[in-house]
């Protein structure tokens, strides 16, 4: 059965294109897929069919029919994954750079979910449905590092609640442009959609509360190796907060310089440490991971 979602446009959202508005409301869907749904007349505005370029107005009622995902579209695939820890409740994996966490419409293969479906068989939580079984949180395609997977619904609920309460330890390492003067910096700035580019995030007054704790590990000529501890978990939080203090991440072509001398394919950002209260034992557990080779190679060159 198709899933039906309804939205009412508020004053701040007036003037957005219909496809852009829906891509913001439905963060897991690509804009191209939303455009296809609009073309297929799966979207109405005030009970009328409109085109993707329609500019939404305050109080517009927008209804979208989202085709139900088909179980066969997300297939288990024998893709090697780096398992850091596993028991009957949780699976901790070290995701490589350039791997998407979960499938999206039009792209159902080669993701971490395909790999864990093969590894775990039926032992995954069903809370996030067919497309994202077991996925409690995610990191960007070009971000490497630790992710926790829930193998049953009780574990999923426990981990999701800890994320909501900001009690999970999430520590990242990255390399940024410039030499950071302060040893420690806490950035407390709200994050929301960039009003000039709705596909990007930015520090905005009416954004969601976001707090990142930065600490210098080592300074180099023109670059700094740093770590960041997330107190909240907003989309692109570290990348946006680093940019806000004028130290964008090396390799981040979305929020930083377009070119870099290291010819990177994405930002140097690694989820190095992950800690939480185990859903069953109720004891605190913490996992650490080595920096990936591409990251370590850059540090060696900077030395």
Q: Catalogue the active-site residues.
A: 140
Give me the DSSP letters along 203-224. Answer: E-TTSB--EEEEEEEEE-SSEE
Whether the CA torsion 276, 278, 281, 282 is positive or negative: it is: positive
Number of CB atoms found within 10 A of residue 297's CB: 12
**Which residue shows structure tokens 């869907």?**
29
Give residue for tokens 């003067």: 181
φ, ψ for residue 249 (rounded to 5)? -70, 140
- Rounded CA separation 274/296 (Å): 20
Q: Which of 153, 92, 104 has the alpha carbon at shortest distance from 287?
A: 92
> Count of CB atoms within 10 A of residue 240's CB?
26
Query: Which of 129, 1, 130, 7 has its CA nearest to residue 64?
Result: 7
Q: Any idea which residue has 């930065």 for tokens?
A: 214
CB of 37 closer than 8 Å to CB of 19: no
Q: Give the C-alpha distances (Å, rounded to integers) separating 279 from 124, 127, 156, 161, 255.
A: 14, 16, 8, 11, 37
**β-sheet bridge partners, residue 94:** 82, 146
Q: What share of the chain is helix, strand, coil (3-state, %, to 5)?
A: 20, 30, 50
Phi, psi for 6 (deg, rounded to 5): -125, 135
């Amino acid at each position: 059965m198709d899933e039906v979602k309804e939205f009412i446009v508020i004053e701040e959202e007036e003037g957005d294109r219909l496809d852009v508005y829906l891509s913001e409301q439905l963060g897991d869907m690509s804009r191209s897929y939303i455009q296809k749904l609009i073309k297929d007349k799966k979207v109405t505005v005030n009970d009328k069919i409109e085109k993707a370029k329609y500019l939404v107005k305050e109080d517009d009622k927008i209804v979208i029919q989202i085709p139900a995902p088909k179980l066969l579209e997300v297939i288990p695939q024998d893709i090697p994954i780096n398992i850091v820890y596993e028991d009957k409740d949780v699976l901790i994996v070290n995701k490589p750079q350039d791997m998407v966490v979960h499938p999206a419409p039009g792209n159902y293969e080669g993701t971490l979910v395909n790999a864990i479906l093969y590894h775990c068989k039926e032992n995954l939580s069903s809370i996030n449905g067919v497309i994202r079984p077991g996925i409690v949180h995610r990191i960007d395609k070009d971000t490497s590092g630790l992710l926790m997977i829930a193998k049953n619904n009780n574990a999923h609920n426990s981990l999701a609640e800890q994320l909501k309460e900001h009690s999970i330890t999430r520590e990242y390492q990255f390399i940024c442009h410039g030499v950071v003067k302060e040893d420690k910096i806490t950035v407390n700035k709200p994050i929301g959609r960039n009003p000039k580019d709705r596909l990007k995030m930015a520090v905005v007054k009416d954004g969601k509360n976001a707090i990142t704790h930065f600490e210098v590990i080592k300074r180099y000529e023109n670059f700094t190796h740093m770590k960041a501890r997330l107190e909240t978990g907003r989309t692109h939080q570290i990348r946006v907060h680093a940019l806000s203090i004028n130290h964008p991440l090396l390799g981040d072509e979305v929020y930083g310089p377009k070119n870099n001398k290291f010819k990177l394919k994405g930002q140097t950002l690694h989820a190095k440490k992950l800690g939480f209260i185990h859903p069953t034992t109720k004891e605190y557990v913490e996992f650490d991971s080595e920096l990936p080779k591409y990251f370590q190679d850059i540090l060696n060159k900077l030395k």
